[in-house]
Amino acid sequence: MTAGYRFLVADDHPLFRGALKGALIGLDKSCKILEAGDFEGAKALADENIDLVLLDLSMPGVSGLSGLVALRGMNPAVPIVVVSAHDDPETIRRALELGASGFISKSSGMDEIRNAVQTILDGGIHAPQDIDLGAEADPDVADLIRCLQTLTPQQTRVLSMLAEGLLNKQIAYELNVSEATIKAHVSAVLQKLNVDSRTQAVIRLSKIGTDSVVAEN
């Protein structure tokens, strides 16, 4: 194993961040661990130099799988493992379908956390064992996930910024591109999500937000 990994632990519970840090240090004593207690902090730290993000599904600034979608759009090459107390098959399956490299239940022991992280660092996918993930029962959510999978990383970032309420000019500034480019991205997003307006796009995205995951706080 190559030493010196850089991890980002994004969770609003300090005690659980401490537990995850202990598991990671047990895996690689020379690793560097960055911490974020809210989603804005996670976005600021989740750059391309991070080897793995451990992401809670519910923290200030985000709730549900929309946070996973946003981070995947920002840095698609950085693997993300969702860490959640809500380890039902539906949540696990949706997280993996939306691009998570793994799912760790908050009830997992230290050895299981380390094994999961090592599997993902080695390029694999981790899901809790002995759980039948089944198939999506909600046809609207199934269609939404298929639509989200067709978005480019930049289109995903634009959609996430629309959900934050940013205007085209603000998104253009944040992404350092022209407003015309953002308009083109917005049009493509609306077309791929099969909606007619920005508002409808945000409403569709919300179906994998607070409605799909019970608040952990």
pLDDT in tens, 64-97: 898 999 999 998 999 999 999 888 899 999 999 9
pLDDT at 213: 42
Q: What is the pLDDT of residue 214?
A: 39
pLDDT at 209: 65
In this prediction, residue 137 carries a pLDDT of: 83
Parallel/antiparallel/unpaired status of strands 58-59 and 62-63: antiparallel
How far apart, in whole angstroms, are the C-alpha atoms of residue 95 and residue 138? 15
Residues of the chain with pLDDT under 70: 1-3, 209-217
pTM of this structure = 0.87
Q: How far is CA 78 from CA 71, 81, 100, 143, 209, in A?
A: 9, 10, 10, 25, 21
What's the token pair of residue 150?
A: 């067709």
Q: Report H helices in the chain.
A: 14-27, 39-45, 66-74, 89-97, 110-121, 139-149, 153-163, 168-175, 179-192, 198-205
**Which domains, from first to last, does the chain contain?**
6-121 (3.40.50.2300), 139-208 (1.10.10.10)
* CA dihedral for 155, 7, 52, 149, sign (positive or negative): negative
Instruction: Report DSSP state, residue 132.
Output: -
